[in-house]
Each structure stands twice: as structure tokens, then as C-alpha cells.
């Protein structure tokens, strides 16, 4: 394809994107396709000859869009905000257009240095001290794995250069909350620690936050048994209920035992942009690593997760490679991001952060986050005041955890009369809401019971959208007979 053919097709595609964004509010929020329906509409073999761009563009409308749950919809309240601000989309397009190869500093000095600068902008904006250095990862899952590998190598004195984990004399143990994201146990298992050496530390029955005394007790028991505490993964914002593990109390305990502290703030990290929310991160300067995802609430289009570490030299020592074909005369003077994570090659993802921050400005981003906090607070107030409805976890940021508890299933004092029927009722009404296409919510379990998470924070979501949702879920749940 020539640049002129690209120009023509590209203009059509930009118009398609702008039109698509305009009509997103009219689309069903949850994709209505059934398994295999998209695949059945695709050709069984790749074409030998070129096809017209118009055909491909038409397939975006007819095949792709119906097969996408619309996270940019104002009634998207599922999982977590997965915002793709159009300013960041422009940055993503610029990244594709520049087509840089990020393998070493030399292959694209700008890719490295823009990433250094924008991660430092965000460090400053989130109130972290200059002791932290940041890099962009694809996801918080990968960031957590990198942190677990760094922790493993720190406690073993770089055992990877000798017999590896299999040569370690005493088991290494990792601690986290049972409410932690599924990527945390996954990272622990992939790093080789083994499920037997992963401790799910007790949480508070009301806040669902990790109990410091329980952490201490678990670590003491392991030490007494000859095991070595290696890492504590602290959730600032658990996935289920956005519970806040008390980092200021947990980090000093971990430090006593020499354990690495990784803070997983994938969703909630955006709140650090607001000075009034930073108390949730008290103690963060005692952590070793922190990850949060601008690609969630802040609104940088996926994928853009940040990993900050305090000791870059340690990370580099664990992750570095230095083959002859990648050496250059400036190696000692520059950052080589290939040595800060798993992949060698990287896209120019810093551009989407750079574009978003410059085109939107920080004030507007902060105003939007505050709007979402207020909207979530409004909804929580409605739920708390409504008979038959209950907030099942404290509201810490923008995720309202609720349940409809009809009189026949739950007694006035909150005693569950028929747990299975209550679960069936919860799943029935949330599935009905989702199937309607009018809004999308996630069900999740807490204390073994299904509840519903209303994650407020889509860029397009205003108070009126939250009010409409509240009407919709009341009507749906209260008329549900299952």
C-alpha cells in the first residue's frame, strides 16, 4: 500500500471512528452475539488477492462492532472503567504512524526518552517521590509478575545466576489478600513459588482489607517453620469491592521480615492524581514496586500499565541481556527499557500518555475523576436509603457494591433466609439488565454470596446516566421473580 492509498483509506477510517464514537450511546452495551457468530462471518482462508478497503471498513460495522461490549458507552458500569479518551487514541494512532522499533535506546531514542519523561510527569502528578522510576508495561498482570521475579531474586541473592529457584534450600513465601486480583496468584505460581507457598492473609469482615496482625502472624509462623517471607502484594483497591489494604501498617511489617512490597493499584492508582485521595496510599514510600493502569479510569487507551520501582539497578540486574548485536557506544548513558521487563521489543506507548496529558490537560482529567467519585457517592446514598437494597461493602472510590435483598429472602435484621435463592435472584436480575443492552454491570462474589458491582467512571457517564441506571436496576430487580 502506498502512502497515497493510505491517505485515502486513513481519512475514511478517521471518519468511521468519529462516527462510531458518536453512535456508541445508541448501541447495546453488552455485545449480543453468541459464541461462534463472529467467526462464522469471516472468510475461512486468507485472500490471495487484495480486497477493497471499503469491504474491510464495512466489516468493521457489520461484523466487528456488534461483537464488542461497548466500554465507552455512558451506561457501561462493568468490571472497571476502560476508558479510551480520543486524545489518547490520537496518540495511539501517532504511535502506529511513527512505526518505531523499541528494542534499545539506539533503535528509537525518542521512544525511550518520551517514556522516561511522561512516566516522571505521572510520578509527580500522583505525589510519588523522585525515588521512583517508571516504565510502561502491557498490563498490571505482567507488572506483578515482574515484581514477583524481582522479589524472588532479591531474597535469593540472584539465584537465577546459579541453580535458580530449584536450588533454594528453604521455601520462599508470598503473602496477599484473598481479595487480590486473580493476576496476583497467577504471577506467584508462574514465578515458581508454588501454591503451597502463597498465603492468603485474613481480611477485615467489614472493610475486606488485609489485617496487619494476620500478616505478621503468618510471617512469624513461616519463619518459625524455616520458610523465607519473600514478598507481600498489597491491594490498593481490590477487584471485588475496591477494598484498601492498609499499606502504612503493612509495609513496615514486611520490612521487618525483609520482604518485597508490591502495591497493586491497577484500577485505583488513578485516584493518586487527586490529592484528597492520596491518604489511601499512605506508606507507599515504604514499598518496592507499584503498578497502576492509566488504561483504566484515567482513560489512556489499552494497553498502558505503569510499573514504578525504587531500585532500578536491581530490576536491571534481574532482567538484563546484553547480546553483541544490540550493543552501542552510548549503552552506559541511557535507559534500556528492554532490561526493565520481559519483552525485548516495545511499541511507542508513551505517545498515548503524552498526547492525552497535553491535549486534555491535567485539570480536566482530575475534574472528571472527581465527577465520578461524586456520582458513585450519590448512587451509594440512594442504595443505602432504599428499603430492600444494601451496600455490601464500604464505598472507597467509585465502585458501588450492592445487593437487592427482597423481604422473602433476607430478614429485616439482614439475616439471609435462603442463600441459594438470593444468589439466583441476584444473578437473574443482573443478567437481565446486561441482556437488555441498556446497561452493563458485573456480578462478583463477596463472602461467598453474589453481589453486584456498579463501577462508575466511563468517560461519558454523567449523573443522569447513573440515575437512569438506578431506575433500571430497581425496576429489573424488584420485578424479577426468579
Residues 367-426 binding its own copies (CB under 8 A) are: none
Between the alpha carbon of residue 288 and those of residues 151, 175, 233, the distances in Å are 9, 15, 10
Residue among 275, 345, 381, 408 that touches its own copies (CB under 8 A): 345
| Antiparallel, parallel or unpaired: β 198-200 and 228-235 | unpaired
Total residues at interface with its own copies (CB under 8 A) = 161
Find the binding residues for its own copies in span 105-134 (CB under 8 A): 105-111, 113-114, 116-118, 121-122, 124-125
Find the binding residues for its own copies in span 424-463 (CB under 8 A): 431, 442-445, 450, 453
Taking CB under 8 A as the rule, does residue 306 contact its own copies? no
Taking CB under 8 A as the rule, does residue 200 contact its own copies? no
Alpha-carbon gap, residue 188 to 199, rounded angstroms:
10
Find the binding residues for its own copies in span 208-247 (CB under 8 A): 239-240
Taking CB under 8 A as the rule, does residue 286 contact its own copies? no
* Nearest residue (CB) to its own copies, 74 versus 283: 74
Note whether 228 and 171 are within 8 A (CB). Answer: yes
Q: Is the dihedral of CA 365, 371, 377, 379 positive or negative?
A: negative
Residue among 359, 374, 391, 432 that touches its own copies (CB under 8 A): 359
Note whether 288 and 260 are within 8 A (CB). Answer: yes
Note whether 264 and 238 are within 8 A (CB). Answer: no
- Ordered strands of the 449-455 beta sheet: 389-391, 399-404, 449-455, 442-446
Residue among 276, 333, 413, 420 that touches its own copies (CB under 8 A): 333
CA-angle at 106, arms to 100 and 107, nearest 5°: 25
The phi, psi pair for 331, rounded to 5°, reads -50, -40
Q: How far is the CB of 395 from its own copies (least distance, A)?
A: 17
**Helices and strands in the chain: count of H runs, count of E runs:** 14, 11
* Joined grid coordinates for residue 369: 475523576
* Nearest residue (CB) to its own copies, 363 versus 413: 363
Note whether 287 and 132 are within 8 A (CB). Answer: no
Residue among 175, 257, 297, 355 that touches its own copies (CB under 8 A): 355
Q: How far is the CB of 411 from its own copies (least distance, A)?
A: 25
Find the binding residues for its own copies in span 29-48 (CB under 8 A): 30-31, 33-39, 42, 45-48
* Nearest residue (CB) to its own copies, 253 versus 401: 401
Find the binding residues for its own copies in span 41-100 (CB under 8 A): 42, 45-51, 53, 55-56, 60, 63-69, 71-72, 79, 82, 84-87, 89-90, 92-94, 96-100
Amino acid at each position: 500500500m502506498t502512502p497515497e492509498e493510505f491517505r485515502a483509506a486513513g481519512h475514511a477510517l478517521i471518519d468511521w471512528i468519529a462516527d462510531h464514537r458518536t453512535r456508541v450511546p445508541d448501541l447495546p452495551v453488552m455485545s449480543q452475539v453468541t459464541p461462534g457468530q463472529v467467526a462464522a462471518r469471516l472468510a475461512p482462508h486468507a485472500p490471495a488477492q487484495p480486497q477493497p478497503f471499503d469491504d474491510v471498513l464495512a466489516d468493521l460495522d457489520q461484523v466487528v462492532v456488534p461483537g464488542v461490549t461497548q466500554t465507552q458507552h455512558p451506561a457501561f458500569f462493568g468490571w472497571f472503567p476502560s476508558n479510551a479518551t480520543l486524545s489518547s487514541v490520537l496518540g495511539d494512532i501517532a504511535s502506529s504512524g511513527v512505526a518505531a522499533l523499541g528494542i534499545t535506546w539506539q533503535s528509537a531514542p525518542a521512544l525511550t526518552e518520551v517514556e522516561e519523561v511522561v512516566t516522571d510527569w505521572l510520578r509527580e502528578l500522583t505525589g510519588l517521590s523522585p525515588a521512583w522510576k517508571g516504565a510502561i508495561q502491557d498490563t498490571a498482570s505482567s507488572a506483578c509478575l515482574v515484581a514477583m521475579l524481582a522479589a524472588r531474586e532479591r531474597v535469593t541473592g540472584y539465584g537465577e545466576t546459579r541453580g535458580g529457584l530449584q536450588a533454594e534450600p528453604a521455601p520462599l513465601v508470598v503473602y496477599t489478600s484473598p481479595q487480590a486480583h486473580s493476576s496476583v496468584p497467577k504471577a506467584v505460581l508462574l514465578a515458581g513459588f508454588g501454591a503451597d507457598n502463597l498465603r492468603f492473609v485474613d481480611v477485615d469482615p467489614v472493610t475486606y482489607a488485609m489485617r496487619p496482625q494476620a500478616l505478621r502472624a503468618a510471617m512469624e509462623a513461616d519463619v518459625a517453620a524455616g520458610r523465607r517471607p519473600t514478598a507481600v502484594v498489597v491491594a490498593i483497591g481490590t477487584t471485588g469491592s475496591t477494598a484498601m489494604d492498609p499499606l502504612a501498617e503493612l509495609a513496615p511489617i514486611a520490612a521487618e521480615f525483609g520482604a518485597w512490597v508490591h502495591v497493586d493499584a491497577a484500577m485505583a492508582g488513578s485516584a493518586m492524581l487527586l490529592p484528597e485521595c492520596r491518604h489511601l496510599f499512605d506508606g507507599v514510600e515504604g514499598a518496592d514496586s507499584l503498578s497502576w493502569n492509566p488504561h483504566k479510569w484515567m482513560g489512556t487507551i489499552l494497553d498502558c500499565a505503569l510499573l514504578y520501582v525504587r531500585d532500578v539497578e536491581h530490576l536491571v540486574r534481574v532482567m538484563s541481556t546484553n547480546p553483541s548485536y544490540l550493543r552501542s557506544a552510548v549503552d552506559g548513558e541511557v535507559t534500556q527499557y528492554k532490561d526493565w521487563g520481559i519483552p525485548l521489543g516495545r511499541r511507542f506507548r508513551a505517545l498515548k500518555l503524552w498526547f492525552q496529558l497535553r491535549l486534555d490537560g491535567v485539570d480536566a482529567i482530575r475534574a472528571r475523576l472527581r465527577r465520578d467519585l461524586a456520582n458513585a457517592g450519590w448512587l451509594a446514598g440512594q442504595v443505602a436509603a432504599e428499603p430492600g437494597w444494601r451496600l455490601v461493602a464500604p464505598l472507597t472510590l467509585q465502585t458501588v457494591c450492592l445487593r437487592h435483598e427482597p423481604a422473602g429472602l433476607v430478614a429485616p435484621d439482614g439475616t439471609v433466609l435462603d442463600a441459594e435463592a438470593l444468589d439466583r435472584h441476584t444473578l437473574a436480575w443482573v443478567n437481565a439488565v446486561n441482556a437488555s443492552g441498556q446497561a452493563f454491570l458485573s456480578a462478583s462474589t463477596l463472602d461467598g454470596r453474589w453481589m453486584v458491582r456498579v463501577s462508575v467512571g466511563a468517560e461519558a457517564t454523567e449523573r443522569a446516566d447513573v440515575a437512569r441506571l438506578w431506575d433500571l436496576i430497581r425496576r429489573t430487580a424488584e420485578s424479577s421473580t426468579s
